[in-house]
Structure 1
Amino acid sequence: MRLLPQLLLVCCTCFYSRVALTQKNLSRSIEKDIDQLVEQRLPDIAPGAVILLAQGDRILYHKAFGYENTTTKTKMDKDGIFRIGSITKPFTALAILQLVQENKLKLQDTLQQYIPDFPVKKYPVTIAQLLTHTSGIKNYFEIENPALEKDHYTPREGISYFQDAPLQFQPGSRYQYSNSNYYLLGYIIEQVSGMSYNDFLQMHIFNVAGLQHTSYGSVASPALHLVKGYSKLNGRIEDAELEEITSIYAAGGLLSNAGDLLRWHRVLYDGKLISNGWLNKATQSYRLSDGKQSEYGYGWFISDIDGTKTIEHSGSTDGYQSDLVYIPDRTLRIITLFNCYETDRDWILLTNDIARLAMGKSLDHSIRLSKEMLQQYVGIYKHNEEWQMIFTMKGSDLYVRCPKAGIPDIKLYATNENYFYTKETPIKFELLKQPDGSMLLVTYNNSGKDAEWKRVEGSQDKQ
C-alpha cells in the first residue's frame, strides 16, 4: 500500500499552557515534576499534547500542553480528538474476542474459513496467530505493489495488496509485528458479523462503553474536533499529509481523545465488553511453538517499566502519536496523545517517565561510562542474515537500532560496564568480549534470554 511521504516540519517556538481538569491524591510535587518534564521534552516531540493519569476511578492528572494549531496559535484542548494509530489494534482484538465469546468463530479457525479466496500458504494461519502477530504474514507497509496502489481501498482490495507475499516464517514459531494481521482481522469481523467494521465497533464497543468522541474516521469528518497533525523529520515541523483511512483500516484507523480512551479501558476491565476470563487471556503473553513467551497477547503488548508489569499499546501514524499504558498492580493508567509524527521514540520515553514519576520511581538509575569504554561496543551485530543490530556513538552516548524491527536509534543506559537498557523498551543488552577478542551481544526480554548476536563489523574495522 502506498505510504505518503513522511512529513517534515515548520518549527515554531511553542509556549505551553496547562489546563487542569482535576487533581486528587497526586502530590503537588509529583504534579509539578510531570508539568516540568512535559514542558522540557515536548518541543522535541510535537507542537502539543494531552496527558492523562488515572488510578482506579479517580482522575489524577489531565492537562493539555502546547498548540493544536501552530499557525493560528490555537492552544491544545484536553478534549481534542487525535488519530490513535495502532491503539486501534486492541479495539479490533476486542471485537474478535466478542465474536469468539458468542461462539461465532474460534481462535484456532484458519484464515481461509472466513476469507476463502485468500491464497493458501505453505502452512495454515489461525485467528490466534493473526491476533498475536505470529502468523508470518508480511507487513504490507514493507511491500511494494504498484499495480494495486489506489487512493481508496475496500477491505478486500486492501488485502489483495499483500495477499500473494510468501510467509516469512512458520506460523506460531516467532513474533513479528505486522499491520497485515489486523487488516485481515477487520475483514473477518465484517464477514462473520455481516456488518461493516465501523458499524460493528459502534454497536458493540463505542455505544456500550458510552464513547462520544471515538470513531472509525474520515480525516475530513466535520463532526469531529480533530487536532491538526504535524510531522517531524530532520528537526523541522511541517503540516502532515494524512494517510487515507482505508489504507490503515482495522490496523490503525480509529480517532479518539484521552477521556474516551480512559472510559473505554475502565469499562473493559469492568467486564462489560468481554468476560474477565477472556480479558485475562488477552493480556497474557502468547506462547510460541518452542515454549517461549512472546511480548504480545491478543491486541496488547505485555511489558514492564523497571520491573513493574505493564499492559500497553502505542500508536504512530501520519500526524499523530499516542500511548496507553496500564499498570495492573496499581490500577494506574497513563494516556498520552501528541499531534506530530516523528521517527524516534521520544514520545514513548516521555510516557514511561511520566509513569515512573507517578509510581515514585527514579527517572535514571544508570551509571556513566567513559566514551572510550562505550566506543569498544560500536559495530554491527548479527543474529542471522535477516536480523541485525547496529551500535553507534552520538557524542558521548551509545545508541542501538534494529532496521528489521523498524526501531530507530535509541539511547542505551548502563547499569555496569557490560549491561545496558533503554527507557523505551523492556529489552536488555549484555555486551561480552570473548577470549578470542570478538564481541558477543546477548539480548534479554521479559521471559529471560532472547537471542545471541555476533559482531561482524566493528569500529576498528573502518580504521
Structure 2
Amino acid sequence: MRSPARHNVSRRRGLRRRVFAAALAGLVLTSFAAPSLAVDRSTSPATAAELDSFVQQQRSDLGLPGVAVVVLSKNVVMFEGAYGSAGPAGRPVTINTPFALGSTSKQFTALAVQQLIVQRRVTLVDTVGALLPELSGGSSPFAGVTIAQLLSHTSGISTHEGDEEFNPWPSVTSIDDETRRVLQSQPVGPAGADFEYSNANYTILGAIIDHITGLSFEDALQTLVVVPLRLTSTTSDERVAQSRGLADGYYPWFGAFSTATPGAWWPMGAPSAFITSTATDLTRVLQAQLGASSGIDASTLEASRTPLTRVDQYSQYASGWYVRPFWELHDNDENGLDPSLPTLWEHPGSTERSMSYLAFAPSMGLGVVVLSNYALGTDQDKLSRFTTALLHKIVGTTDSPASVDALTSAAPLLMVALPIVQLLMFGWLVFALARPRPSRVGRWMPLLVGGFVTIATVFIAVVVVPGRTGASLFEPSWWNSTPDLAVSVGVVLLFAVGWVVAFAVALLKRLVRRPSGVSDAVRS
C-alpha cells in the first residue's frame, strides 16, 4: 500500500496547491552500458534502454513539452539527458537550459541561512522580532518565531498567506513589503506546534538574509551559495535567467493541448519558488550533498540535512528538504517504516508553469534531478505518481498500480461539458420564451429542467471545485494556476446568471399573460 506521506508531499507545495508539489522526468539512453546502482539489497536496477523507454512513454503520456534529467550513482553521473522544446520556436532543451524551480528553490535559501549561521551572524533561535524590528512593527503575532521555525514551516503562518506570490494582482511585490504584510496576518496556530507548509516562511527568510548581509537577495544568493558551489547558471533574477535561455512555461489547456502560457512571477517569491537553475547546476548541488568537495563546508551541508520537525509518521522536514525512508526499495512501497531502509532527502517543486524534483540518498550515492517546463494543471498528484514510478524504475523494484481520482480524470471533459450543458439550457429557455407552448408541461419543462441543471452545475462550480482544490473560488492565485478550470467555472456562473434572468422574464411573462379570473387548468 502506498504511504500517504508520498501524496502529502506533493500536495504541500508550495503550487499551490497549490498550490496544488510536479510531474515528470526524463532519462537518456547513453552510449555505454549503465553501471550498477549502489543499492544494498537484491534488486535489478533498470538498464539505460529500459529507463529511456520508460521516460519516452511518460513524456508521451503526460505531453511534456521539455524535460531535462540527471541521475547519479555512487555520486557519479550515470545518466544525463534532455528532451523536447524549451519554447514555441522549437528551441531544444539541454542540460544547461534554466528552468523555474518552484519549491526546490527553498533548499538554496535555507543553505544561505546555514552559511550565515556558520559565520555566526545568526542562530537558529534568533527571532523575527529581533532580526526584523522595522518590518514586524513591534505588534506582529510572529515576532517570537525563530529561524528554525521558519525553516521547518512550524511558524504558524498559513499556507494561504504564502500563496500571495502566485496572485496575478498582488498588493505588494518586494520581499520586504510582502514580509511586512505577512507579519501582520493571523496565525493558524502557536509557533512550534504544527507543520503547515507556507511559502511565506521562506519569503521572511529572504528578508532576514537581505537585512543581515546588507545585500539584495540575489547578491546574497550568489555570494553565499552559487559561487561557493561553483554553479554557473543559478539565479533569482528573471531577466538574467531569460538572457541565459530560460525555458518558456507551458500549460495543459483542458487536458487537450499545451501551449506557452505566462504565469505570475514576482520578486517576493524568489526565496521560496522563483530561483532558476539548470540540470548541470543542480547536479553539482546534489554531488556536494553526497560528499563531493565544494566551497561549502561539509558540516554546513550536514546541518542543512538535519531534520528540524516531524511532518507525519513517515517523514520529517529539514532546511528545504523532506526526509523519509527510501521505501521505493521495497516492492509496492511496502513496509515504509522498515528501519533498515536508507534515508532519502527529496523535494518536489512547481510554479504555475514548471515543475522540478530533487532527491538524494547519501548512503547509496544516489541522486535524481528532474526539470520540466510543464504545469500541474488540475491533476495535482502527477508529480508524486511519476517520481515514485521513476525511483522504483531506477532501483529495480515494482511500483504499485497508479490510481487516479475519478473526478480528476474526468476534469478535462467536465470543464468543456458543463458550460455546453449550461448553454443548451439557456438556449432552450430563450427558445421557449419566443415560442410559448400551449400545454402546462410545455411551458414549465424548460424552467424545471434548466433549474435543476443550473443548480447542479453551480454546486459543482462553487462547492465541489473549491473543495477539491483547497482554494476559495475568489482566490486570484487559484484562477492563475488553473486558468482552464477558472474559465470553465466563470462561464458556468455567467450562464447561470443569464439563466436566472431568463427564468425571471419567463415567469413574469406567464403571470402577465394569465387572464383575470381564468385558471391555467381552464386555459389548458
**Does TM, scored on the shorter chain, surpass 0.5?**
yes
AA matched with 1:115? L
Q: Is the 8 A contact 2:34 2:48 kept in 1?
A: no
Alignment of 1:304-323 (within 5 A): 304-306=325-327, 307=336, 308=341, 309-323=343-357
**TM-score of the pair, normalised by structure 2:** 0.61
Alignment of 1:153-192 (within 5 A): 153-192=173-212
- After superposition, what is the alpha-carbon deviation per residue over 1:26-76, rounded to whole angstroms, capped at 9, x for unaligned? 59952122112211122315212112101234211111122223x333433
Which moves more between the two structures, 82-91 or 177-186?
82-91
Alignment of 1:223-238 (within 5 A): 223-235=243-255, 236-238=257-259
Q: Is the 8 A contact 2:46 2:395 kept in 1?
A: no
Alignment of 1:5-84 (within 5 A): 20=30, 24-25=34-35, 30-43=47-60, 44=62, 46-69=64-87, 71-84=88-101
Unaligned runs of 5+ residues in structure 2 are: 1-14, 19-25, 38-44, 328-335, 407-466, 473-524
Hey, what's the Cα distance between the residues in 2 that align with 1:34 and 1:405? Answer: 37
Alignment of 1:144-293 (within 5 A): 149-150=170-171, 153-219=173-239, 221-235=241-255, 236-268=257-289, 269-270=291-292, 272=294, 274-287=296-309
Hey, what's the Cα distance between the residues in 2 that align with 1:210 and 1:278? Answer: 16
Hey, what's the Cα distance between the residues in 1 that align with 2:346 and 2:175? Answer: 27
SS of 1:209's equivalent? Answer: coil
C-alpha spacing 1:116/1:271, structure 2 compared with 1 (3 Å): farther
Q: Is the 8 A contact 1:219 1:245 kept in 2?
A: no
Of structures 1 and 2, the one with the larger relative CO (CA 8 A, separation 6+) is 2
| 2:115 counterpart residue number | 98
AA matched with 2:265? E
- After superposition, what is the alpha-carbon deviation per residue over 1:313-355, rounded to whole angstroms, capped at 9, x for unaligned? 1210022100001022211001111111113232343233222
Hey, what's the Cα distance between the residues in 2 that align with 1:233 and 1:405? Answer: 20
C-alpha spacing 1:186/1:32, structure 2 compared with 1 (3 Å): same
C-alpha spacing 1:144/1:211, structure 2 compared with 1 (3 Å): closer
Hey, what's the Cα distance between the residues in 2 that align with 1:157 and 1:133? Answer: 20
Q: Is the 8 A contact 1:82 1:339 kept in 2?
A: yes
Hey, what's the Cα distance between the residues in 2 that align with 1:190 and 1:144? Answer: 18
| 1:346 counterpart residue number | 382
Hey, what's the Cα distance between the residues in 1 that align with 2:46 and 2:308? Answer: 39
Q: Is the 8 A contact 1:94 1:274 kept in 2?
A: no
Q: Is residue 2:353 matched to residue 1:331? A: no
Q: Is residue 2:106 matched to residue 1:89? A: yes
Q: Is the 8 A contact 1:230 1:339 kept in 2?
A: yes
User: How far has the Cα of 1:19 moved from its partner?
Assistant: 7.2
**TM-score of the pair, normalised by structure 1:** 0.69
Q: Is the 8 A contact 1:86 1:316 kept in 2?
A: yes
The higher radius of gyration belongs to: 2
AA matched with 1:175? F
Hey, what's the Cα distance between the residues in 1 that align with 2:142 and 2:240? Answer: 42
AA matched with 1:64? A
AA matched with 1:67? S
- After superposition, what is the alpha-carbon deviation per residue over 1:81-115, rounded to whole angstroms, capped at 9, x for unaligned? 11111111001011111111111111111111111
AA matched with 1:279? L
Q: Is the 8 A contact 1:21 1:61 kept in 2?
A: no
Which moves more between the two structures, 262-271 or 47-56?
262-271
Hey, what's the Cα distance between the residues in 2 that align with 1:134 and 1:67? Answer: 39
Q: Is the 8 A contact 2:385 2:402 kept in 1?
A: no
Q: Is the 8 A contact 2:128 2:143 kept in 1?
A: no
More helix by share: 2
User: How far has the Cα of 1:281 moved from its partner?
Assistant: 3.7
